Amino acid sequence: MTVSFFVVLLLSVIRLSTPMFIAGLGNMYCERVGILNLGAEGMMVSGAFAAVLGSYYTGNPWIGVFCGMVGGLVAGALHALICVEFGGLHAISGLGITMLFNGVTKFLCLSIFGSTFTPNVAALQTTKILQGVPVLGKYLGALSPLVYLGGLIAVISYFVIFRTPYGLRVQMVGDDPRTVETAGINVWKMRYSGVLICGLLCGIAGAYMSLGQLDRFFEGMIAGKGMLAVIAVKMGKWEPKGILGTALLLGFFDAVQLQLQINGIIGIPPEMLQLLPYVAGIAVLSLQTGATRLAALDTQYLRNKYKF
Amino acid sequence: GSKPAEPGVTEPAASSTEPAAPAKEWKIGLVAAGKFGDNGLNDALKAAVDAFTADTGIPVTKVEVSELSDHAIHARNFGEQGYDMVIMGGTVSELMPEVLEDFPNTHYILNKGTVDGYDNCTSIQFEEPQAGFIGGAFAVMMSEHLAGVNKVGWIGGMRINDLEMCRYSFQAGAHYAGGQAVESYVGDFQDIAKAKELALQMYGEGMVIVQAFAGGAANGVYQAVESLPEGNYAMGAATGQFNLSPERILASHIIKTDEYFNEVCKKFIAGEMPSGIIKAGLKDGATGIRISPLIGDQIPQEIKDKMAEIEAKIVSGEIVPPTDEASYNAYVAK
Amino acid sequence: MVYAVEMRGITKRFPAVLANDHIDIAIKAGTVHAIIGENGAGKSTLMNILYGLHKPDEGEILINGQKQAFGSATDAIDCGIGMVHQHFMLVPRLTVADNVVLGKEPRKGLLYDRKAAIAKVAEVCSRHNIQVDPAKKVADISLGMQQRVEIVKTLYRGAEIIILDEPTAVLTPQEIDDLGEILRQLKEGGKTIIIITHKLEEVMDFSDDISVLRGGKHIATLRKAETDIPELTRLMVGRDVQLGGRKESAPGKEEALRLTDIVYAAAGRQILKSISLVLHKGEVLGLAGIDGSGQTQLAEIVAGVLTPSGGSVVYHSRDITGKTVAQRKKEGIGFIAQDRQKHGLVMDFSIAENLVLGFQRRPEYCQYKIAVNSKAVISDAQKRIREYDIRTPGEQVRVSMLSGGNQQKVVVAREMGSRPQLIVADQPTRGVDVGAIEAIHNILINHRNKGGSVLLVSLELDELMMLSDRIAVFFDGRLMGILDSATATREQIGMMMVGSSLEGKEGPAS
Amino acid sequence: MKINALKLRLKDALVPLILILIAFLFSAIWISFMGKSPLEAYRALFAGAFGSTSGVVNTVKKSVPIAFASFAVIVSTKANVFNIGAEGQLAMGAFGATMAGIFLKGLPAAVHIPAAILAAALGGMAFALVPALLRVKRGINLLVVLLLMNNIARFLLQFFVLDAFASDNALVPSTDRIMESARLPYLIGPPYRLTIAVLIVLAVAIVLELFFRRSTAGYEMRAVGLSPEAARYAGIDINKYMLLGLLLSGALAGVGGGLEILGNHHRLYIDFSPGYGYDGIPIALLSGGSPLISILGSLLFGALRTGSLNMQAKVGISDEIISVIQGSLILCIAANYFVKYLLNRRRSGKAGKEAGQ
Ligand SMILES: Nc1ncnc2c1ncn2[C@@H]1O[C@H](COP(=O)(O)OP(=O)(O)OP(=O)(O)O)[C@@H](O)[C@H]1O
Ligand SMILES: Nc1ncnc2c1ncn2[C@@H]1O[C@H](COP(=O)(O)OP(=O)(O)OP(=O)(O)O)[C@@H](O)[C@H]1O
Ligand SMILES: [Mg+2]
Ligand SMILES: [Mg+2]
């Protein structure tokens, strides 16, 4: 077990957990304004595909990331329309969005590229400027710039939620939208903003998967990462720190699981290793104490419907 | 380099430039287990029937089916519509006897099927382990040549029987060449990101060649190797997948489905298609290792010779590639 | 003269109800204006319209003579209107300052300036002489304090017109007096105050003018000096109401309930500290105390909803400490929970379904031990609706469609209809209009006169003194003493409620 | 009064129909975008699903597991828990049925089939037990645990099929075949193969309807579902009902998976379920909590899956469009308040006016 072994493992953990925590941060905004989002998967698929399209047509991966954000935003807007405007059922809307965008992206991919995956496009798999850093450059540069962007988003999110007026309002909407409405704040705008930010971040998470980790879009590539983001935000108790921690934990067990397979722990069937991250998740959950809850999560809030 | 194509049914333009219009209105169908555009088995089958259409002008109806239980439904649908021949995946084997009796005039070709004893059914079994064995040996020899490493990687999608057979034979091949294979599974055929991490961890342990055998997730292996410096390589599967990573796939474990099924179709309309189980292996040119047409020149002649030698031994029966744990252990013990 | 508020021809329809029907109302600047009416008369709706939360279907609003069209509460706030709602609009997890500044947060650059928020709130409080600690979490302060926070909220936003919707429903007498003092100061400071309340004594105490609504219509506006409580009652209800139908039959000597050394702790806090009590058959025992003194918990322990940390509950000489709610119901303990919407009723059930809630396993509602006997349930519901005068189109109507008072009647009808021997009633008349209060009082007294016992929790001393035979006064989880209500005075009880025990005046403990 | 009630019923029925219409219109846009005729596509879809005996049979067959998944979700939501884990429980039920089908030997069909169905129910129930206990005993977020459990089920199923109980003589990864005596008898024999699973679905739906409408326990469970606090104050053991709701839900999902094995596949495959467990969720909500109505929804989803095969072969539209139709249908269901809102607004406008007069 050399140093480089640990570094490889660490990089693995970071890469595996990045999409989970970027999307998890998005979900944090969404849930904090009271909207449950089981559609993170769909938003990520949309983002991943749009990012590749953007990069494919312009040759510039950053434009791709921007397109990915727009892609996520479109899915987010749909979720917002249903949950915020029409007072729809959040869980169902989320599942519908995942199904719809899985279908639509596959469908567009087939119509545009004639295959279930796209050609390779300009990507963001490495951070060139960091490769010059002495000693660590080799490792720092090996990560996608989107990983660093993700870290930045986490820090910014911390400040946004706990240190800005907007954050104060977001916190309150998740607890009690009626109170916020009586304070003269537009609850629906708040809710829209949370869901849209979520769409945006899920779009980035999707773009990370298609452009940061790979350099093209494949059908089915999100492979459940969106659902893990849903888990991360709840286990992380709606705080950037916690979400980051949970994502890293799940990523760690996944990386370890892969390592255990490679090092051939004889006698343990691979399927039993593959379920390790999920078992670890349940174990951690059952050790968690003090169930915090957002009082208004997964509730409808409609105009002119309430008694004050 | 993928050409746009319509999913689902592709009605080929019956071109008038064809030498002779077929006398009989042949009705031929292809049922893909999953989706076209997978750069794997289904695309190979599609390529085969497309080539057949191009060669003969006979159109082939293609459908994609993702649900297991729908395959039998299709087998029946095509029979009801009076098709002459239908190419299907072997997964329907168990449900076929009844269909075969109900539609004696339709000939079913089962890719990797197990049905025997019916006049209107041919099961084709590719002897893939043969390719696996050579692949393992090649990987070890090549990585000794490149980096003096005798450990090679093998990444599978899910632990299904097909892959297990190839895994054991690959391992045996590696052992034959004096090396060792490190194997692991992604868990599904889709999670490219995880496949990539798995591959990166393998390369990180010093391996320089990893064989990908994971359907769509194989792309993760190619993406991994491309992110690494020169000198690290991958091996592909299916029809070669060289287009997926032109500069890093040295050689591929292949089943020549594309060529083989074109031949099958031609044989059928010529009335020469036998029934029962047909084994297709190295000696028929149906499986084997294909060296990259793009970077294959990096392989020294010495290794190529060695591979030819192994191939001859397999064809002659001197080497019987193992296909499961028991036969592997027996092989190693020898 | 220019009115601070003029509302002309205001009409508001909700699905199936006409909540406000062409209401014209004018409020003079610098006065306290009370709005009264039965449950569901449309008071809150009218005020929500004034505050911009609802849009009227018809009518117009003038503020200081200017016509206004409010799109949202923001518009109203900008116009100098503030509102304190019937249910407190506070987020318990956050601090007082956070709650107050919400929507108008002081900033430092892009960030929220929490320090400035605390300073500003403290400044507003001291200017208006209101005692609140801005840095405390709302979860940690008393209801009276929360009420003050609500008022500070409106003042912080620079409100000149302050609406209070049933501000006293949850306050203790002491807190009500404090509130009156604050209101007087605000009025002197030139603010206009609109107050909704069901307590007519307060109306006479606080207000200058009084408007009465009934069935969504404006009935009258009167000067306080020119009216009295009976007239207001008549205007509200449309008939005379006789509160205080107290019957002077002596309580029995048989013990119905004996509590010994009841201790209850939650979240590391001692809520009940060794309480011992006896309740006799044919007796009403009132539990008095500031809200949060532990009387609600005691009631819930008797009902079986809470499990005490120590002590025993003996009912008709049987120890029922470990018994479940269901078993206690079977033994004849009825419970009118404080929060009818949350605890008393399944709001999405029909009236009929709610009327058997908790008694669904009784043989008369059950067929073959497993099936609901719908025929019996329905005919029984129809009978109860008649008997308890529940105003509804039918027994299949969802209770959520009923007004608060009628919802309460459903709860009372259910618990009383089960023929209990002991009824535990936790604030049974909270937020209920006079007509319904009269009905509920009569029901409780009748129960007592027939030899049943009542454990009555109420925050209103008048109610307690009117209904109870004896009054047990709580302070901070302790029993300060038990008084005979025939001889006790308001002042005595009030003193004990804030912690000064009256040596020697304690009633017999058994 | 009678007529009014009838009108109300019609309106309730109208809502889902409008939703379905919107979803199909939306998908028509996509189909024309592909350069195909939506009309022709839908005709092929319909013909495939209902146009022939085999079409109808296949539609019905596919609706069986979907219906059970939706029953599972209905039961759980009645008890105030949201069972998003039906997919995993379905898989474990299938596993249970397979085990009983393979290893219980020498039983007559009349005993073996019920035993295998019971095993399926136990399988699903056992898999719901961990989340249920974590929820009831420790108040842990059920959604998270159930989502994790779905992932665990996926790998457990792989392990069972590929390793522990892998069949030696099948090229397709699967277990051995179940005994003849465990296979469900046919109502319509080969080639159609419609088994008595259909009758079981109907029977279970009726039993559930009766349970919720008529039984005291059903009444109590509904009270817990609508207002747990009020139920607790009324002396109903809410933990018991949450536990019961989730376990019953797991059992129902398990039976759905089990019937799929006992009736259709006769052996366990890794991907025998293309997401039936998730299909059940929107249907449960579309049905407004009525098991009988959810059967209609399941038939719709089954028809989509069956008809898409024909649509592919006849019109050349790949079955992504089914994801699109289903996805938009689900979104419409989620937004069903929108339609109700429109209908309500008309009604309330009228009511308001009447009240005003
Ligand atoms: N948002 C709403 N939707 C539907 N109906 C409503 C709504 N708000 C109030 N109502 C109805 O309008 C009527 C008037 O209600 P409102 O709350 O204004 O009465 P109130 O006079 O404040 O009663 P209370 O004294 O109990 O507080 C009631 O019948 C009520 O059921
Ligand atoms: N959106 C709504 N739809 C239908 N009915 C409603 C709605 N909002 C409120 N109501 C009903 O309006 C009725 C009138 O409310 P009312 O103010 O009389 O009760 P209440 O006073 O709220 O009780 P409390 O004072 O304890 O809160 C209530 O029964 C309530 O359930
Ligand atoms: Mg009110
Ligand atoms: Mg009220």
Would you call B204 and A119 a contact, using CB atoms and an 8 Å cutoff?
Answer: no
d(CA A5, CA B9): 49
Q: Is residue D352 assigned to a domain?
A: yes
Domain of residue C201, CATH code: 3.40.50.300
Q: Does B181 touch chain A (CB under 8 A)?
A: no
Tokens, residue D117: 């169905």
**Secondary structure of residue A157 in the 3-state scheme:** helix
d(CA A132, CA A134): 6
Amino acid letter at C152?
Answer: V
Q: Is residue C247 assigned to a domain?
A: no
Which of the residues C12, C79, C93 would you substitute to probe the A interface, choosing the one with the greatest number of A C-beta atoms within 10 Å? C93
Tokens, residue B279: 């084994």
Share of chain A above pLDDT 90, in %: 49
Mean pLDDT lowest among A73-77, B110-114, D99-103: B110-114
Tokens, residue A16: 């595996």
Q: Is residue D179 assigned to a domain?
A: yes
CB atoms closer than 10 angstroms to residue C487: 9
D147 shares its domain with D80: yes
D312 shares its domain with D331: no
Would you call C370 and D217 a contact, using CB atoms and an 8 Å cutoff?
Answer: yes
Using the 3D structure, point to which of C241, C274, C301 is the last residue of a domain. C241
**How far does residue C424's CA lie from ligand 4's centre (Å)?**
22
DSSP state of C231: H
Share of chain D above pLDDT 70, in %: 89
Would you say residue C509 has pLDDT above 70? no
Non-local CB neighbours of C351 within 8 Å, separated by 6+ positions? C381, C385, C390, C392, C394, C395, C396, C397, C398, C399, C402, C410
C60 shares its domain with C3: yes
pLDDT band at A141 (very low <50, low <70, confident <90, very high): confident
d(CA A295, CA A280): 27
Calculate the alpha carbon distances from B54 to B24, D77, D313 in Å.
17, 57, 21
C23 shares its domain with C149: no
Q: Is residue D48 assigned to a domain?
A: no
Would you say residue D19 has pLDDT above 90? no
C149 shares its domain with C56: no
CB atoms closer than 10 angstroms to residue C379: 13
Q: Does D215 touch chain C (CB under 8 A)?
A: yes
**How far does residue C180's CA lie from ligand 1's centre (Å)?**
26
Amino acid letter at C140?
Answer: D
C46 shares its domain with C187: yes
Question: Quick one: how far is CA C23 from the chain centroid?
Answer: 26
C61 shares its domain with C210: yes
d(CA A204, CA A64): 10
Instruction: Name which residue leads in pLDDT, C76 or C430.
Output: C76
Would you say residue A131 has pLDDT above 90? no
Domain count, chain C: 4
Predicted pLDDT at A198: 97
Q: Where are the domains of chain A?
A: 11-222
CB atoms closer than 10 angstroms to residue C499: 12
CA triple B149-B154-B155, angle to 5 deg:
140
Residues with CB under 5 A from ligand 3 (ion): C 44
In the 3-class helix/strand/coil scheme, how is B310-324 assigned residue by residue? HHHHHHHCCCCCCCC
Q: Chains with ≥3 Cβ pairs under 8 A against B?
A: A, D
pLDDT tens digit sequence for C170-204? 777 778 888 899 999 999 999 999 999 888 888 89
**Cβ atoms of D235 and D70 closer than 8 Å:** no
d(CA B236, CA B175): 20
Non-local CB neighbours of B219 within 8 Å, separated by 6+ positions? A117, A214, A216, A218, B192, B195, B244
- The DSSP annotation for C296-344 comes to HHHHHHHHTSS--SEEEEEETTEE-TT--HHHHHHTTEEEE-S-IIIII
Average pLDDT over every residue of B34-45:
77
Is residue C402 lining ligand 2, measured as CB closer than 6 Å?
A: yes
Would you say residue A306 has pLDDT above 60? no
Rounded to two decimals, the pTM is: 0.86
Non-local CB neighbours of A54 within 8 Å, separated by 6+ positions? A60, A63, A64, A65, A66, A67, A68
d(CA A265, CA C140): 54
The DSSP bridge pattern shows strands B85-89 and B107-111 to be parallel
pLDDT tens digit sequence for B50-106? 999 998 888 888 888 877 777 888 888 888 888 899 998 887 887 788 888 889 989
Average pLDDT over every residue of A95-112:
89
Would you call D274 and B63 a contact, using CB atoms and an 8 Å cutoff?
Answer: no
Q: Does A112 touch chain D (CB under 8 A)?
A: no
Q: Is residue C357 assigned to a domain?
A: yes
Q: Is residue D46 assigned to a domain?
A: no
Long-range Cβ contacts of C125-128 (<8 Å, 24+ apart): C125/C152, C128/C152, C128/C155, C128/C182, C128/C185, C128/C186, C128/C189
Using the 3D structure, point to which of D283, D300, D316 is the last residue of a domain. D316
Q: Does D342 touch chain A (CB under 8 A)?
A: no
Would you call B158 and D190 a contact, using CB atoms and an 8 Å cutoff?
Answer: no
C201 shares its domain with C125: no
pLDDT tens digit sequence for B145-172? 999 999 999 999 888 888 888 999 999 9
Q: Which residues from chain B sit within 8 angstroms of residue D265, using beta carbons?
A: 68-69
D327 shares its domain with D231: no
Q: Using a threshold of 3 CB pairs under 8 A, tell whether chains A and D touch.
A: yes
Q: Does A184 touch chain C (CB under 8 A)?
A: yes
Beta bridge partners of D299: none
Is residue A305 lining ligand 2, measured as CB closer than 6 Å?
A: yes
C384 shares its domain with C306: no
Is residue C44 lining ligand 1, measured as CB closer than 6 Å?
A: yes
pLDDT band at C166 (very low <50, low <70, confident <90, very high): confident
Which residues of C lie inside 8 Å of A (Cβ-Cβ)?
A: 44, 48, 51, 53-55, 72-74, 76-77, 83, 85-87, 89-91, 93-94, 98-99, 102-103, 105, 107, 110-112, 153, 157, 165
Size of interface A-C (CB pairs under 8 A): 73
Non-local CB neighbours of A149 within 8 Å, separated by 6+ positions? A204
Is residue C44 lining ligand 2, measured as CB closer than 6 Å?
A: yes
A76 min Cα distance to partner chain B (Å): 24
D267 shares its domain with D328: no
D143 shares its domain with D205: yes
d(CA C103, CA C267): 32
d(CA B82, CA B76): 10
pLDDT tens digit sequence for A156-180? 999 999 999 999 999 999 888 888 9
pLDDT tens digit sequence for A32-42? 999 999 999 99
SS3 content of chain D, % helix, strand, coil (to 5): 80, 5, 20
C118 shares its domain with C207: no
- The DSSP annotation for C467-498 comes to H-SEEEEEETTEEEEEEETTT--HHHHHHHHT
Give burial (CB, 10 Å; 0-12/13-18/19+) of C140. exposed
Q: Using a threshold of 3 CB pairs under 8 A, tell whether chains A and C touch.
A: yes
Q: Is residue C87 assigned to a domain?
A: no
Q: Which residue of A has its CA nearest to B220?
A: A214
Nearest of C20, C495, C36 to residue C221 by alpha carbon: C36
D31 shares its domain with D113: no
**How far does residue C198's CA lie from ligand 4's centre (Å)?**
9
C361 shares its domain with C260: no
Is residue C121 lining ligand 1, measured as CB closer than 6 Å?
A: no
Using the 3D structure, point to which of C418, C448, C477 is the last residue of a domain. C418
pLDDT band at D7 (very low <50, low <70, confident <90, very high): low
**How far does residue C362's CA lie from ligand 2's centre (Å)?**
30
Would you call D34 and A95 a contact, using CB atoms and an 8 Å cutoff?
Answer: no
**Secondary structure of residue D9 in the 3-state scheme:** helix
Q: By alpha-carbon position, which residue is closest to atom 11 of ligand 1?
A: C19
Q: Which residues from chain C sit within 8 angstroms of residue A180, using beta carbons?
A: 102-103
pLDDT band at D193 (very low <50, low <70, confident <90, very high): confident
d(CA C485, CA C472): 10
Would you say residue D181 has pLDDT above 70? yes
D355 shares its domain with D257: no
**How far does residue C403's CA lie from ligand 1's centre (Å)?**
7
Tokens, residue A168: 């104060």
Looking at all shown ligands, the one closest to residue C47's CA atom is 1
Q: Cis check for the bond before A269: say yes or no (omega within 30 of 0).
A: no
Would you call D144 and A87 a contact, using CB atoms and an 8 Å cutoff?
Answer: no
Q: Which residues from chain D sit within 8 angstroms of residue B160, using beta carbons?
A: 162, 173, 270
D217 shares its domain with D328: no
Tokens, residue D127: 């898999």
DSSP state of D183: S
Would you say residue C472 has pLDDT above 90? yes
Q: Which residues of A29-38 are buried (b: 16+ CB within 10 A; e: fewer)?
A: bbbbbbbbbb
Q: Is residue D21 assigned to a domain?
A: yes
Which of the residues D219, D345, D347 would you substitute to probe the C interface, choosing the one with the greatest number of C C-beta atoms within 10 Å? D219
Average pLDDT over every residue of C495-510:
58
pLDDT tens digit sequence for C326-360? 999 989 999 999 888 889 999 989 999 999 998 88
Q: What is the mean pLDDT of chain B?
A: 84
Q: Which residue of A has its CA nearest to C109?
A: A164
Average pLDDT over every residue of D213-231:
92
Q: Which residues of C163-195 are buried (b: 16+ CB within 10 A; e: fewer)?
A: bbbbbbbbbbbebbebbeebbeebbeeebbbbb
Q: To which residue do tokens 């959520």 refer?
A: C400
Is residue C400 lining ligand 2, measured as CB closer than 6 Å?
A: yes
Would you say residue D351 has pLDDT above 50? no
Mean pLDDT lowest among A25-29, C210-214, C314-318, C459-463: C459-463
Q: By alpha-carbon position, which residue is closest to atom 22 of ligand 2?
A: C404
D277 shares its domain with D328: no
Predicted pLDDT at D135: 86
B154 min Cα distance to partner chain A (Å): 9
Question: Quick one: how far is CA D114 from the chain centroid?
Answer: 21
**Cβ atoms of C279 and C310 closer than 8 Å:** no
Mean pLDDT lowest among A47-56, B8-17, C205-214: B8-17
Nearest of A17, A4, A71 to residue A44 by alpha carbon: A71
Would you call D348 and C13 a contact, using CB atoms and an 8 Å cutoff?
Answer: yes
pLDDT tens digit sequence for D255-311? 999 999 999 888 898 888 888 998 888 888 878 788 999 999 999 989 988 888 788
The phi, psi pair for C333, rounded to 5°, reads: -105, 120
C393 shares its domain with C327: no
D133 shares its domain with D220: yes
Longest dimension (CA), chain D: 80
Q: What is the mean pLDDT of chain C?
A: 88
Q: Does A41 touch chain B (CB under 8 A)?
A: no
Would you say residue D345 has pLDDT above 60? no
Give residue C114's domain range. Answer: 93-157
CB atoms closer than 10 angstroms to residue C500: 11
Would you say residue B139 has pLDDT above 80? yes
Would you call A12 and B159 a contact, using CB atoms and an 8 Å cutoff?
Answer: no
The DSSP bridge pattern shows strands B287-291 and B249-255 to be antiparallel
Predicted pLDDT at D11: 65
Would you say residue C508 has pLDDT above 50? no
Q: Is residue C101 assigned to a domain?
A: yes
pLDDT band at D202 (very low <50, low <70, confident <90, very high): very high
Q: By alpha-carbon position, which residue is closest to atom 25 of ligand 2?
A: C431
Give burial (CB, 10 Å; 0-12/13-18/19+) of A266. exposed
Q: By alpha-carbon position, which residue is closest to atom 14 of ligand 2?
A: C403
Average pLDDT over every residue of C250-271:
86
Share of chain C above pLDDT 70, in %: 96
Dihedral-angle region of residue B193 (phi above 0 means left; psi in -120 to 50 means alpha; beta otherwise): alpha
Looking at all shown ligands, the one closest to residue C17's CA atom is 1
Q: Chains with ≥3 Cβ pairs under 8 A against A?
A: B, C, D
D125 shares its domain with D231: yes
**How far does residue C400's CA lie from ligand 2's centre (Å)?**
7
D251 shares its domain with D347: no
> Considering Cα of D131, then D135, then D140, then D142, what sign does the dihedral take?
positive
Predicted pLDDT at C406: 86
CA triple A289-A290-A291, angle to 5 deg:
105
Average pLDDT over every residue of D244-251:
95
User: Which H or E run contains B252?
Assistant: strand B249-255
Give residue D32's domain range. Answer: 1-36+319-357
Q: Is residue C269 assigned to a domain?
A: yes
Domain of residue D124, CATH code: 1.10.3470
Q: To which residue do tokens 């601070």 refer?
A: C4
In the 3-class helix/strand/coil scheme, how is B98-125 assigned residue by residue? HHHHHCCCCEEEEECCCCCCCCCEEEEE
- The DSSP annotation for C378-419 comes to HHHHHHHHHHTT---S-TTSBGGGS-HHHHHHHHHHHHHHT-
Residues 33-52 of B with CB under 8 A from A: 35-39, 43
C226 shares its domain with C104: no
d(CA C401, CA A227): 39
Using the 3D structure, point to which of C104, C139, C157 is the last residue of a domain. C157
What is chain A's alpha carbon radius of gyration, rounded to the nearest angstrom?
A: 20
Q: Is residue C246 assigned to a domain?
A: no
